Structure 1
Amino acid sequence: MNLNQILEPIQDELSAFEARFKEVLSGESSFIWEISQHLLENHGKRLRPACVLLVSRAFGEKSERGIETAVALELIHTATLLHDDVIDQSPTRRGEMTVSYKWSNLVSVLMGDYLFAKAFRTLVGIGSPSIMKTVSSATERVSIGQLNEIKESKNFALAEGDYLKIISDKTASLFAAACESGCILHQSDQKQIAGFKIYGQNFGMVFQIVDDLLDIIGNQEKTGKEVGTDLREGKVTLPLIYSLQQEAPTKRKNILKYLENGYSNSSFEKVVSFIQEKGGTVYSHKKASEFGQKALESIQFLPDSIYNKSLKDLVAFALKRDK
């Protein structure tokens, strides 16, 4: 099942989200409008808004507050990508020029700041202190995760637990906030709110681990990103962590030579072969599947509905995606 089919039950809400997101993003200046058009033409899967809207509809009718919450989460996510592209010095994202490459690092940073401001202004308008607390805490965690990822760059002794903490903060926290917020819109039952937070957290872990797998064994034409980009930038991810742990210390230095000093396309292929030989890709997918199972278990309390089914199907999609 493809993503469009999974999200069919909320297509009306997603259309309303897109219209409102475009309106909020456009801003008051012609320059902001120009940058916004570039962002709108090159957007991602809208999974965070989808999580808000699916969870919200699982408990109630379509609501303006649900759309506004989805917009706020996507503004924050987009802002983090603008800052990410500066940090990583990325010329492209999804096969198109990044804002930092098309204009400048300064423009990308300031546009990101603008989107953060827009997001929190949108959240204030929702009028829910609980959602404001949830989303602001998640945004803080994203920054912590990004800082720790930078700190651990090229730390090839990084433990699996430390990697999982980084991606939990950097990626999973916003998915958790999206699902938790969608539930808060209609529910005060703390057990159910906690269940959806756990779902979002584990779904985010699946998403990021698979993303890290695609950096090693993905197809550039599908991902829009050169294979090995993260490894070349010094990001130490689960497939590599596991593979290095399987290698004898005396032999590990051979592969570390490539990793520490930078490498060509041919030496990158040796790194990929090493990871596959040591079972790094298989182990990582198994780990992602475990997080996926935890996500499914956390929403077992939900009655059967088209929205519940879509939430379950999203987990399968995240595990099998190739872009």
Structure 2
Amino acid sequence: MGVVVSLDEGKKGEASVKPLVDLTAADMARVNELILSKAGSDVEMIPEIANHLISSGGKRLRPMITLAAARMFGYSGDGHIKLATSVEFMHTATLLHDDVVDESDMRRGKQTARMVWGNQASVLVGDFLLGQAFRMMVEVGSLKALDILATAASVIAEGEVWQLAAAKNLETTEDEYLAVIKAKTAALFSAAAEVGPVIAQAGRAEQAALRSYGTNLGLAFQLIDDALDYGGNARDLGKNTGDDFREGKVTLPVILSYRRGTAAERAFWKTAIEDGVNDDAALDKAMGLMTRYNAIGETISRARHFGNIAADALAPLGDTPQRDAMLEVIDFCISRVN
């Protein structure tokens, strides 16, 4: 469930991540240097696989949030650089593992690492990146930040197993699905945001505000990705439209359409999702049913709801350029479907 962010101004010149990019540019240059350094190894295959994914076009939203969240509260050290790099390595490791579990062939317009080097190498390089991430966390010396990111790593893995256990299960409820994406996707957004005020030694209320912002931004972003899979484009999504359907993933648009459908329509979903009959004709029919039951529109409405919660979490904080940029990220997330 990876998230890829375009640096374009957004549809119709509306919300953009550009303010966040501009604010964090100097720090991100240091993060990028550290990424290249820490992805290095005498084992030739490790940097090859790591760089294959690291250089494939993701815009590193999560580490930018870590950097901005630290600067928002006046942090002036360099621990945020190592934590932001740790966050990016955790995300990259998750993508490597996800592609193996999902048996994905393409990511961001390129062959996945598992297609080039095999499943075993992809998993092991993911493990290497996780190890490097934890080494950097320890170097920062903040037990609280280490605890937040370590907990996130555990929750993400738990979400992966949870999703695997529920794979192709059309009886999955909306609540169960939201719990899965809260673990798989939102947990790292939450940790990325929270460690900023932690190392800046901000108060508990400020830490809680950033934690809530990250959680709800992550939920909104994933739900928009779910909607885009049935009507977006590869540039916005970082994969081909319809990939979730072809892989038999039970996402919120599927859940809503299945539950609201007739007996015959539910039989179609079972054939498509559970039995894997998911060619282009089946995809067209699925999208037609989603239109009939407003499944895409209501998925977007759910995303807007979580986006509003994320914005409200930041509302009591002081007016800073970082806060404004992070608020615009929420609007950008939603605007991808306009």
Return the TM-score normalized by structure 2: 0.91
User: Structure 1 residues 133, 96: CA separation in 2 closer, same or farther (over 3 Å shift)?
Assistant: same
Q: Matched residues in 2 for 1:97 and 1:34: separation?
A: 14
Within-5 A mapping of 1:154-303: 154-220=168-234, 222-249=236-263, 251-261=265-275, 262-303=277-318
Offset at residue 3 of structure 1 (A): 2.3
**1:318 aligns to what?**
333
Which has the larger displacement, 15-24 or 197-206? 15-24
Q: Matched residues in 2 for 1:108 and 1:236: separation?
A: 25
Q: Amino acid of the residue matched to residue 311 of structure 1?
A: M
Percent of residue pairs identical:
32
Offset at residue 211 of structure 1 (A): 1.1
Q: Matched residues in 2 for 1:92 and 1:263: separation?
A: 18
Q: Matched residues in 2 for 1:13 and 1:97: separation?
A: 30
Q: Structure 1: state its 5+ residue gaps.
A: none
1:11 matched to 2:21? The reply is: no
Q: Amino acid of the residue matched to residue 261 of structure 2?
A: E
Q: Amino acid of the residue matched to residue 243 of structure 2?
A: T
Q: Structure 2: state its 5+ residue gaps.
A: 1-14
Q: Select the structure with the greater relative contact order (CA < 8 A; seq sep ≥ 6).
A: 2
Mapped contact 2:50–2:125 kept (Cα < 8 A): no
Within-5 A mapping of 1:16-35: 16-35=30-49
Q: Amino acid of the residue matched to residue 272 of structure 1?
A: M
Q: Matched residues in 2 for 1:77 and 1:221: separation?
A: 19
Offset at residue 250 of structure 1 (A): 5.6
How big is each residue's C-alpha offset from its partner over 1:30-49, in whole Å with a ceiling of 9 and x where there is no partner? Answer: 33232233233214120110
Matched positions, count: 323
Mapped contact 2:256–2:295 kept (Cα < 8 A): yes
**1:82 aligns to what?**
96
Offset at residue 271 of structure 1 (A): 0.6
**Higher helix residue share:** 1
The SS at the match of 1:263 is coil
Q: Matched residues in 2 for 1:182 and 1:221: separation?
A: 30
Which has the larger displacement, 97-106 or 125-134? 97-106
Return the TM-score normalized by structure 1: 0.95
Q: Amino acid of the residue matched to residue 141 of structure 1?
A: V
Q: What RMSD, in angstroms, separates the aligned Cα atoms of the two structures?
A: 1.7
